Amino acid sequence: MFKHHLWLLLIPFIGLLWVPFYNFHDPVLFGFPFFYWYQLAWVPVTALLTFIAYRSFPDEE
């Protein structure tokens, strides 16, 4: 019933799967090359998507 939210867990996997997609120096953010801050940006995004997928399931007793 709520399994469609599990597809959210594939988004970080797809976003980080292909390294040539984000293997660049520019744009630089706070002194970090794009390669590093792109990966670091996925940490809170992944946590949020995992939280949404987790909360989509009803509590089981």
pLDDT for residue 42: 94
pLDDT for residue 61: 56
**DSSP letter for each residue of the chain:** --GGGGGGGHHHHHHHH-GGGT---PSPBTTB-HHHHHHHHHHHHHHHHHHHHHHTSPP--
pLDDT digits (tens, 9 = 90+) for 7-49: 888 888 998 898 888 888 889 889 999 999 999 999 999 999 9
